[in-house]
Structure 1
Amino acid sequence: MSDEAKLRDQLCALARSLYDRGLTHGSTGNISARAPDGGLLVSPTGSSFGRLDPARLSKFDDRGQHIDGDRPTKEMPLHTAFYDTRAGTGAVVHLHSTHSVALSMLTDADEDTFIPPLTPYAIMQLGRVKLLPVFLPGDPAMGDAVRGLAGKRSAVMLAHHGPVVAGKDADAACNAIEELEATAKLALLTRGLPVKPLSDDQIAQVVTKFDVDW
């Protein structure tokens, strides 16, 4: 089996796992990864994470031209914005995960530090998450907003929509977006309680030890 065939199978298996555990639903969510030849493999538009076909993934060449497979997700501008601005990006995943979306709807949601520093792992895997405003689905302005961050954030939250996370590879991106959703759930579960988040000193220790952009 070629390296690209293995990557196709991996993307579909990861997407199916996210779908089966309710982290996205219906035909929501999209995933992409850098192919061995420098192009991109991308989930098709209107497809379900629970039923992706490795052979039908959209394929782009290293010049960004669609050369094979079904028509790609309409949110390609989000994906290409991360690949173009953040060095080392090997995969991007976007979900419509319930708890993170709920957190984004709150009137006091923090735009600069959307995911609160409740655990070291959220900081390690995500850095500081930027909350972006509401956009219509597929609006290229979403990509423009990510480009405006100049590669400084590996994760953003689209208000009323869902998180988008870039990672060095597909496993890393999926692990990080799961951490984002889990921490959003923690934030909601503890809302109104006398929560003790990580201190500034504890955050600094994590940032220094794991070389996190913060």
Structure 2
Amino acid sequence: MTAPLDDTTARVLLVRTARSLFTRGLTHGSTGNLSLRLGDGGLLLTPTGSSLGAVQEADLSRTDLAGRHLDGLKPTKEAFLHAAFYRARPDARAVVHLHSTHAVAVSCLDGLDPANALPPLTAYYAMRVGTLPLLPYHAPGDSALEPLAEQTARSHHAVLLANHGPVVAAATLEQATDAIEELEETAKLYLLLRGHITRPLTPEQAAVLVPTSP
């Protein structure tokens, strides 16, 4: 298991990653939220209404595993979603949720397979994401999504929220970021290839590339 992070280190890492995602156009405005599990079992999250491009270390929120606000600014309205992933995946120490353009575009398409919204077009997608369940639409902050997210997260470290965006958990923030970026690139490929005959990895090829992160 990855060593737990202390509060100071976690704050620096969370803000640095938030800046990187924002400046590279993977999130916009005040969308998206990140979190880390701390050594004391609590969660450190970006606050509600904040831009990942401007959030400061002192702005970050702390909650417990039930999503209850402990200190700092008011947490993201989707704190319950982060908490659900951590409860379902004890080895996960980071959760990233973005509204990245191509993944959101895919989440708005009709006729997606709810068990696996994107095909394994590349080996890296199969390694970093695997299968991607599509969870039905809920308004942002609707805690009715929590039990379904927790149940799904027990067997999948990445999900796509319908008409909303992706959520990924991993053992480290770097791994979660790598996976969600791979998901965004695969969504882009999927949209570029619509109308073309494609050749995704076969089930046998994908099976040997199952993600190893929590």
Fold match (TM-score > 0.5): yes
1:137 equivalent to 2:140? Answer: yes
Of the candidates 91, 110, 113, which is equivalent to residue 113 of structure 2?
110
1:121 equivalent to 2:124? Answer: yes
CA RMSD after TM alignment? 1.9
Unaligned residue ranges in structure 1 (runs of 5+): none
Contact 2:66–2:83 (8 Å) recurs in 1:
no
Identity percentage over the alignment?
51
Counterpart mapping for 1:58-137 below 5 A: 58-61=61-64, 65-137=68-140
DSSP 3-state at the match of 1:108: coil
Of the candidates 163, 168, 186, which is equivalent to residue 165 of structure 1?
168
Partner amino acid for 1:160?
N
Partner amino acid for 1:58?
S
Contact 2:66–2:80 (8 Å) recurs in 1:
no
Residue of structure 1 equivalent to 2:7? 4
The aligned length equals: 210
Of the candidates 44, 47, 54, which is equivalent to residue 44 of structure 1?
47
Please report how far the alpha carbon of residue 66 of structure 1 lies from its aligned counterpart in structure 2 after TM superposition. 2.6
Unaligned residue ranges in structure 2 (runs of 5+): none
1:59–1:145 Cα change, 3 Å: same
DSSP 3-state at the match of 2:142: coil
DSSP 3-state at the match of 1:41: strand
Encode CA deviations 1:83-116: one digit per residue, 9 max, x unaligned.
1111311011110111011112221222111121
Of the candidates 182, 192, 196, which is equivalent to residue 189 of structure 1?
192
Contact 1:117–1:123 (8 Å) recurs in 2:
yes
Of the candidates 137, 155, 160, which is equivalent to residue 158 of structure 2?
155
1:12–1:202 Cα change, 3 Å: same
Encode CA deviations 1:137-176: one digit per residue, 9 max, x unaligned.
1000221221232600101111111111111121111111
TM-score (structure 2 length as normaliser): 0.91
TM-score (structure 1 length as normaliser): 0.91
DSSP 3-state at the match of 1:157: strand
Question: After TM superposition, where is structure 1 displaced by more than 4 Å over at least 4 residues in a row?
Answer: 61-65, 210-213
Please report how far the alpha carbon of residue 127 of structure 1 lies from its aligned counterpart in structure 2 after TM superposition. 2.0
1:33 equivalent to 2:36? Answer: yes
Task: Quote the Cα distance in structure 1 between the aligned partners of 2:67 and 2:107.
Answer: 32
Encode CA deviations 1:47-101: one digit per residue, 9 max, x unaligned.
0000111112002357754332100011111111101111311011110111011
DSSP 3-state at the match of 1:149: helix
1:29–1:176 Cα change, 3 Å: same
